[in-house]
Amino acid sequence: MKIGYARVSTQDQSLDLQVDALQKAGCERIYTEKMSGRKDDRPELQKCLDALRSGDILVVYKLDRLGRSTFKLLELTAGFERDGVDFVSIVDGIDTTTPVGRFFFRTMASIAELERDIIVERTQAGLQAARARGRVGGRPAKAKKDVERALKLYDSNQYSVPEIVEMTEVSKATLYRAINKRKNI
């Protein structure tokens, strides 16, 4: 089944051009959305992705309708490949139903992976240089007495976690980490 996804960034923009192109491409179902591509929590995109099954083809008018960042696009398309879903971008001429289309996307994925690895390498080198100069990154650890107070409040069963967080200024993650640490002892 061909499934289409169309998106515009603002409420006053029209989806007509994209929807017409998706219908012409043979899409049986089309999901439309008026929301910025920078947002990762796009409900119609999620519905569209949830509807995809092995053998389906996701069609978009243009690549940037699916996502703004190269990383997000490659993450999505890697999921498509894993799940047996093909991908077509009409304007960009991308079609992973063909060997050349699959090669193009795998090449892009490799370049993006190289870029991420280089960023990680630079970050690690910067952290190592900072440590050599006596600087330590990250947030300062919460005082042990604050965490113990939060645990006592939690054990009392009188307060919700958000209330404990507000009273003690111990983050929810720190509280749960302390609870789990205590369980594993």
Coil vs helix vs strand at 29: strand
Please give the C-alpha separations between residue 78 and each of 64, 69, 86, 108, in angstroms, as whole numbers.
16, 14, 10, 11
Q: Smallest Cα–Cα separation from 174: which of 138, 136, 142, 140?
A: 142
Q: Which residues are catalytic?
A: 9
Residue 174 CA to residue 88 CA, distance in Å, equals 44
Task: Name the β-bridge partners of 5.
Answer: 31, 60
| Structure-token pair, residue 161 | 């976690």
Please say whether the beta carbons of 61 and 22 come within 8 A.
yes
Residue 53 CA to residue 49 CA, distance in Å, equals 9
